[in-house]
Amino acid sequence: MVSRRSLFLPALFIFLFVFIELASAQITVYSGRNRALVEPLVNQFEAETGINVRIRYGGTTQLAVAIMEEGRRSPADIFWSQDAGALGALHSGDILKVLPEHIAATLPPQFTNPANTWVATSGRARVLAYDKNNVDSSTLPESVFDLTRPEWRGKVGWAPANASFQSFVTAMRATEGDERTREWLRQMKANGAVAYNNNNSILQAIEAGEIQLGLTNHYYIDRAKSGNPNYGIEAHQFGAGDVGNLINVAGLGILKSSKQQDEAIAFVAFMLREYAQQFFMNEVFEYPVTTGIGDSDRMLESILGITPDINLDALNDLDETLRMLRQTDLL
Ligand SMILES: [Fe+2]
């Protein structure tokens, strides 16, 4: 006869095993986004789900390369990219899993790639900054290509070494072709476009009256405005579909090799929910990527109608952009 004790022990072990398995569910995220932006959200996710998140921070490109080198043995379950280009690189390397329909269905098509192997978590728009006290907004150009006209000679600032600018040039190559893009770069330079180190210096130069217009990201202006109600710089959007209105995104992809697919999907879903979306809007003035959240519908309406029609996976092709910028003596 089997004793009670001999039944009890195996049952106890099974119970402990299942308990420890659940309690120790853990995922690893490689994050090209800053700790300041990621940590508060991850803490909230952990508190809600009981899933532990380990994070390796680094540069977006550096982490994408690490994932490719690690191959199927990568400890990463999730890649959180600062821009669409690196997600496109992992997609073309066949490293990312196709996300479930209910995830991709949350976002407008502009905020996922056609294969649904990644989703945006927030967006940032390219805009033309101008000082409303110095420039009559009705004279502002309909296209980024018009900035090569004589009336803007020596009046436009840009930041050729800046990653967002380079993504925009890559987008221009994808939508207009290499030849037209190279020609635009040359003509801008010939028209006296002034190079700055970064977006903040462009805005300072506009304020100082050194230049009148600047190619930058929308949130630099929103950020400055929030600290100063009298701030005079505004964002101009080009005509509908102009590549000068590119929206680049930060986003998430799940590795095919992940053994924690359910937990990884829960993580992605969390970043598309109100708590996270509000956080990106409030903390860094980025655009939300899902509808029905606070001001998000109004904000999305203002950008989705005018953004160029582009597969953001194409932003992956940075090497050729860098070569082009060197050829034209901009780097
Ligand atoms: Fe930035």
Ligand 1 centroid – CA 216 distance (Å): 9
How far apart CA 85 and CA 217 sit, in angstroms, is 16
How far apart CA 98 and CA 116 sit, in angstroms, is 6
- Is the pLDDT score of 266 beyond 70? yes
Q: Which residues contact 151 (CB under 8 A, 6 or more apart)?
A: 139
What's the confidence (pLDDT) of residue 291?
85
- Is the pLDDT score of 131 beyond 90? yes
| Buried b or exposed e, range 273-291, using 16+ CB within 10 angstroms | eeebbebbbeebbbbbbbe
Ligand 1 centroid – CA 199 distance (Å): 7
Q: At what angle do helices 84-92 and 60-70 cross, to 10 degrees?
A: 10
Helical H segments across the chain, by residue range: 4-23, 35-49, 60-70, 84-92, 101-104, 163-176, 178-190, 199-207, 218-227, 261-271, 274-284, 296-304, 318-327
What's the confidence (pLDDT) of residue 302?
84
| CATH 3.40.50.10490 is the classification of domain 124-246+317-327 | no
Tell me the average pLDDT across 19-48. Answer: 89
What's the confidence (pLDDT) of residue 297?
82
What's the confidence (pLDDT) of residue 5?
61
Check: CB of residue 108 under 8 Å from CB of residue 62. Answer: no
Tell me the average pLDDT across 284-295. Answer: 88
Check: CB of residue 156 under 8 Å from CB of residue 191. Answer: yes
What's the confidence (pLDDT) of residue 299?
82
What's the confidence (pLDDT) of residue 38?
96
What's the confidence (pLDDT) of residue 54?
98
Ligand 1 centroid – CA 21 distance (Å): 40
Ligand 1 centroid – CA 218 distance (Å): 9
- Asked whether the domain spanning 124-246+317-327 has the same topology as the one spanning 4-123+249-307, the reply is yes
Ligand 1 centroid – CA 126 distance (Å): 11
How far apart CA 42 and CA 81 sit, in angstroms, is 15
Pick the CATH number of 4-123+249-307 from 3.40.190.10, 3.40.50.1100, 3.40.50.740, 3.40.50.1700: 3.40.190.10
Q: Which residues contact 253 (CB under 8 A, 6 or more apart)?
A: 78, 79, 81, 87, 90, 91, 95, 96, 97, 117, 118, 119
Q: For residue 201, which of 193, 191, 211, 192 has the smallest C-alpha distance?
A: 211
What's the confidence (pLDDT) of residue 296?
77
How far apart CA 290 and CA 108 sit, in angstroms, is 7
Ligand 1 centroid – CA 93 distance (Å): 27
How far apart CA 64 and CA 76 sit, in angstroms, is 11
Check: CB of residue 248 under 8 Å from CB of residue 124. Answer: yes
The answer to which of 80-84, 94-98, 254-258, 288-292 has the lowest mean pLDDT is: 288-292
- Is the pLDDT score of 17 beyond 90? no
Helical H segments across 150-273, by residue range: 163-176, 178-190, 199-207, 218-227, 261-271
Confidence of residue 52 (pLDDT cuts 50, 70, 90): very high
What's the confidence (pLDDT) of residue 24?
72
Confidence of residue 272 (pLDDT cuts 50, 70, 90): very high
What's the confidence (pLDDT) of residue 70?
97
Backbone angles phi, psi at 114, to 5 degrees: -60, -30
What's the confidence (pLDDT) of residue 8?
64
What's the confidence (pLDDT) of residue 265?
98
Tell me the average pLDDT across 269-281. Answer: 96
Confidence of residue 18 (pLDDT cuts 50, 70, 90): low
What's the confidence (pLDDT) of residue 16?
57
Confidence of residue 20 (pLDDT cuts 50, 70, 90): low
Ligand 1 centroid – CA 107 distance (Å): 23
Tell me the average pLDDT across 91-118. Answer: 96
- For residue 192, how far is the Cα from the chain centroid? 30
Question: Which residue ranges make up each domain of the chain?
Answer: 4-123+249-307, 124-246+317-327
Ligand 1 centroid – CA 162 distance (Å): 8
Q: Which residues contact 67 (CB under 8 A, 6 or more apart)?
A: 30, 74, 76, 79, 90, 95, 255
What's the confidence (pLDDT) of residue 175?
97
- Is the pLDDT score of 7 beyond 80? no
118 SS3 class: coil
Could you report the per-residue pLDDT of 183-238, keeping only the tens digit for each? 999 999 999 999 999 999 999 999 999 999 999 999 999 999 998 989 999 999 99
What's the confidence (pLDDT) of residue 298?
82
Ligand 1 centroid – CA 167 distance (Å): 12
Structure tokens at 115: 């294969």
State the burial class of residue 118 (Cβ atoms within 10 Å of its Cβ: 0-12, 13-18, 19+): buried
